[in-house]
Amino acid sequence: MPTAAHHFLIAAPILLLSLAVTVAAVPFLKWLSFRVGAVAQPGGRNIHQKTTGRLGGLALMAGFVVAVAIFGRSVPYWGQIEVVALVVGGLLAVDDILGLPFWTKLVVQILCSLLVAWGFGITIGSITLPHLDLRLTWAAIPVTVIWLVGMQNSINLLDGVDGLAAGVVAIVGAVLFLAAVNRLGVDPGQGSVILLSAALIGCCLGFLVFNFYPARIFMGDSGSHVLGMLVGVITILGVAKVTVALSLFVPVVALALPIGDTAFAIWRRRREGVGVARADARHLHHRLLRLGLTQRETAVSFYLVTGILGCVGLAIFGHHKILAVALVLLVIALILLGWRIWHRKGFSFQTQPESAPPGPPR
C-alpha cells in the first residue's frame, strides 16, 4: 500500500512546476501592469507606500494552468477546470485594469459559477451525514453557485495585507491535500484532489516570493477570484463518494477567519444602513494593524490561526493525531503574541479612529 511519502513524491512535480511558472511570470506581469494602467495607488484604504502593479493574479493562474496541463491530465474535468481558471482570471483582470463596479463583478462571479455547475456539471449533488442522505436534485446548481460565489468573495475580502491571501490559501490547499491522502484508501478518486491541491499550493508559494511584505506586486481581483474558485471546485471534487457535509466542513473550518470576517462585514454594513459592497478599512486584518501589528505579523497571525483551524478540520475528518500539531501551532502563536506585546512599546488595544489609516504607511 502506498505510503504518505509516496503521495508527496507524486505531488512534487506538479507543485514545483506550478511554483516555477508563477515565479517566472511575475516580472512580465509586473511590467504589463504599468503598461496597461492596472496599478494600485497609495492612499485612502490602500496601505502601501508606492504605486504597485496588480495583475499578479494572472501569474497565479498561469502557474496552476500550466502545471495541471502537463501533470494533471489524469484528473477528471481537468480541461474544464483549466477553462474556468482562464475565464475567471481573464475577466477579473479587466476589473483590475478598469475598476469595475461591484455589481459587475458579482455578475461575473455568478456566471463563472454557473459555468462550473450548469455548464460543466461539477456540482454538490447531495448532503450526506449519519442517518441523513439528502439528494439536492434541482437545488444542486443553486447550492453550488452559492458555494463558489462565497469562496470567491471570502478570499477577495481577505486580500488586504501583503502575502495574506496567498499564504492562507496555500495552507488551505495543504489541508485539502492531507484530507485527500487520508481518504485515498477508500476512494481512489481522491488522487485528483491531491494533484490539484499540489498545483494550488505551488502557485501560491511562488507568488509569495514577490507578494510577502514588502509586496512587489499584488494579485488583484483576478488572483483572489481564481484562488477562491479553485478552492471551491477542488472541494467539490473532493466530496465524491465520501461524507459530503464533512468534506465541505474541512475548508470551511480552515477558512473560518475570512468567512467569519466576511459575514460580520455584511451584517455590520446592513446594520449601519449602507450597501454591503461598500468598501471600508474595518476588516479583521485592518483592526490588527491598528492594534500595532506589522503587516508581516498580521499575515503570520492569520497563517497560524488558519493552520490551527485546518488541523481541527482534519481531526474531524479522520486525522486525529493532527490535533497535536494544532496544539503546537497554538502554543507558538501565543508565545509570539506574548513576545510582541511585551517587547513592542506602544502596543495598545485602543484602536485609532476609523478615519485614520488602517496601519503604518508602507
Q: What is the pLDDT along the chain (362 residues), one digit of tens a residue?
A: 455 566 678 899 999 999 999 999 999 999 999 999 999 877 555 555 688 999 999 999 999 999 999 999 999 899 999 999 999 999 999 999 998 888 899 999 999 999 999 999 999 877 665 556 677 788 889 999 999 998 898 888 888 788 989 999 999 899 889 888 877 766 667 889 999 999 999 999 999 999 998 899 999 999 999 999 999 999 888 754 344 445 556 666 666 666 776 666 666 666 766 655 555 555 666 666 666 677 888 888 888 888 887 887 777 766 677 777 777 877 787 787 777 667 665 444 444 434 334 433 33
Gap between the Cα atoms of 308 and 328, Å rounded: 9
SS3 string of 66-122?
Answer: HHHHHHCCCCCCHHHHHHHHHHHHHHHHHHHHHCCCHHHHHHHHHHHHHHHHHHCCC
pTM > 0.95: yes or no: no
Match 455568478 to its residue by C-alpha cell: 110
**139-148 LR contacts (CB < 8 Å, sep 24+):** 141/114, 141/117, 144/113, 144/116, 144/117, 144/236, 145/110, 145/113, 145/114, 145/117, 147/232, 147/235, 147/236, 147/248, 148/109, 148/112, 148/113, 148/116, 148/117, 148/228, 148/229, 148/232, 148/233
- 8 Cβ contact list (under 8 Å, min separation 6): none
Write the pLDDT tens digit of every residue in 265-274. 666 666 766 6
Q: Cβ-count burial of 273 within 10 angstroms (0-12 exposed, 13-18 middle, 19+ buried)?
A: exposed
Domain boundaries, the chain: 4-343
C-alpha cell at 45: 484604504
Report phi then psi at 127, rounded to 5: -120, 115
